Amino acid sequence: MFVINESEREYRFGDSGPKYLMKGPRMNFALVQFMPGQSFDAHYHNVMEEDFFILEGKVDVIVDGKVNTLSAGDLIHIEPGEVHFVNNPYDVKVKMVSTLAPYQEVDKVTVENPVY
């Protein structure tokens, strides 16, 4: 057992990206934040499934070329092999929870030129 406060971690890119509160041994748990105009690279996972639960704001989560516009209270589940990325073209930041399971130390495959 352990307890952690989000203030003990930082977002990967300063004010954006994932802030992992837990990595392994069975799953990852992160807060993810993107400011207006920010996004991240398209990728997929071979083994891990990923969920995003939107806490605040609005965001586009693109999965296999389909744009899914999500807002607070929405959850999207992404299966292994589905190419996905997040884009925030809106004028407010988005904050969301991300879970990845089952835990794999390396399972992210970047995709060049995704369909959007």
Is 30 contained in some domain? yes
Say whether pLDDT at 84 is over 70. Answer: yes
Residue range of the domain that includes 49: 12-105
Stretch 35-50: mean pLDDT, rounded?
A: 95
SS3 of the chain: helix, strand, coil, percent, to 5? 5, 50, 45
Say whether pLDDT at 83 is over 70. Answer: yes
Is 2 contained in some domain? no
pLDDT confidence tier of residue 112, bands split at 50, 70 and 90: confident
The pTM (predicted TM-score) of the whole model is 0.93
The CATH number for 56's domain is 2.60.120.10
